[in-house]
Amino acid sequence: MNSIFQKLTRPFSSASMRFAPDQAAQTTMQVPEGAETAILAAGCFWGIEHMYRKDFGNKGLLDARVGYIGGNTESPSYRAVCSGSTGHAEACLLSYDPQKLSYRTILEYFYKMHDPTTSNRQGPDVGSQYRSGIFYNNDEQKSIAEEVTKKANEQWWKGGIVTEILPAGKWWDAEKYHQLYLDNNPGGYECPSHFVRKLPDLQ
């Protein structure tokens, strides 16, 4: 996971997107011309995907996938990631139309929908796989991530943010049963720290 993406119009290619072993038959995320992608880690990835789809599904979000990023092994499985031995974070890959939904809006929502002040945990879920992170695809995303994080830290989280801001490396789709998990399992587990906080607009 040491590779760094250069600034690309379409950040993901067949060379940079990989799948867990039982995902060979699953198609890669289709990123339409003009669309952009964002990768976020905020604890259990079921809730991240579900919340972004629910709140931005008709506001510029084109697709969302859950998977693994930031680790040091190839073809990570859910079991291996949960052991903490691979170094990966559970994360969500978002595809969006920047004409309708901005990267800044995505990140402001990110800082409202989880607790970014707890290191290697989210609610009752403990481990490096549940860390808070923003994985940027280019210099523009990096700059916006740093700016939004600084403001959110000062205005919302009283200096407590521990979110990592790192270049995106290789992305691995999670196993098929994790995709749309809470849509397919309405009574499934949801991290109690995943809810939208009522916070004032960032200045």
Active-site residue list: 44
Q: How many CB atoms lie within 10 A of CB 102?
A: 15
Identify the residue whose tokens are 């691979």. Answer: 86
Longest dimension (CA), the chain: 46
Integer Cα distance of 57 and 122 in angstroms:
24
Integer Cα distance of 34 and 26 in angstroms:
23
Q: Which helix (H) or strand (E) holds 86?
A: none
Closest CA to 109 of 168, 67, 53, 26: 53
- What type of residue sits at position 95? S
